[in-house]
Copies of this chain bind each other. A is one copy, B any other.
């Protein structure tokens, strides 16, 4: 039988994979970052055991990723930072996505 902590970590992973693959590829520009951040957070917070989600799409990286003609780019892991708190029974799991050596990495920060 998995422990509550293991189950909590499994649930935390589900939320991260869901958030990433649901929204990666979304057209984004500095004019639409705030609404996308909020929709992503509120969508994933609907999922079970998901206590809070914060999404920070980095305007300066969006600007840098936009080509000279288009005016927009597509959302990818390198353009955002994400934090989540998962609560499963007595356990709380904290996770974070951030760039590490040029790659977006989903990290298990703490299991409490």
Which residues from chain A sit less than 8 Å from chain B, CB to CB? Answer: 2-3, 5-7, 9-29, 31-32, 35-36, 38-40, 42-48, 67, 69-72, 74, 76, 93, 95, 101-103, 106, 108, 110-111
Contacts and interface: CB of A to CB of B under 8 A. Distances in A.
Contact of A25 (B24, B106, B110): B24
A14 to B, nearest CB: 4
B69 A47 contact: no
Q: How many copies does the complex hold?
A: 4
Nearest to A102: B67
Given A18-B27, A27-B18, A10 B95 contact: yes
A36 B29 CA distance: 16
A35 B27 contact: no
